[in-house]
């Protein structure tokens, strides 16, 4: 935009918002847990989708890993389910190296992991996810839902 003599304020502002989004999501999770009188420390948190975009398996530049790091630093017990990303691989920033090789929750155990989680965060809304009410707290990182927890899975159509 600058090269064409145009203002890049909008692009810069969008970049700032994207950088702040993982912190916003973690704050949302923490507030939702607090409303249920649960500390984030020791809470079981499931991330649904860790890819950068829906319906792909590419984790480059995904905000999911930064959300995971922030939750981990606050002593949350974090796991993930993403049928398109069976394990965290590839080049990771130094502060994300602890995730290298981590495997996602298996399809066979996802129902029990969802049931046993204190919070589920929809980070990447793959088509294989749906949202029936589970009576838990919702923390949809995509801003699509708010209030009673409404994130679960349907069987992945592999």
pLDDT tier at 143, thresholds 50, 70, 90:
very low
Distance CA 72, CA 102 (A): 13
Q: How far is 128 from 19, CA to CA, in rounded Å?
A: 27
Angle between the N-to-C axes of helices 64-73 and 9-35, in degrees from 0 to 180, rounded to the nearest 10: 40
pLDDT, tens only, 19-67: 678 999 999 999 999 998 999 999 999 999 999 999 999 999 999 999 9
How far is Cα 84 from Cα 118, in angstroms, rounded to an integer?
Answer: 24
pLDDT digits (tens, 9 = 90+) for 58-77: 999 999 999 999 999 999 99
């Amino acid at each position: 935009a600058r090269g064409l003599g145009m203002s890049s304020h909008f692009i810069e502002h969008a970049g700032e918002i994207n950088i702040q989004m993982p912190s916003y999501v973690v704050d949302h999770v923490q507030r939702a847990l607090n409303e249920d009188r649960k500390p984030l420390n020791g809470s079981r948190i499931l991330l649904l989708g860790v890819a950068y975009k829906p319906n792909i398996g590419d984790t480059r530049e995904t905000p999911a890993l930064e959300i995971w790091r922030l939750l981990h630093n606050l002593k949350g017990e974090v796991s993930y389910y993403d049928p398109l990303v069976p394990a965290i691989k590839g080049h990771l920033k130094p502060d994300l190296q602890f995730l290298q090789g981590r495997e996602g929750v298996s399809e066979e155990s996802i129902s029990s992991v969802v049931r046993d989680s204190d919070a589920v965060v929809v980070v990447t809304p793959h088509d294989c996810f749906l949202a029936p009410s589970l009576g838990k707290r919702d923390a949809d990182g995509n801003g699509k839902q708010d209030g009673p927890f409404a994130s679960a899975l349907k069987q992945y159509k592999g």
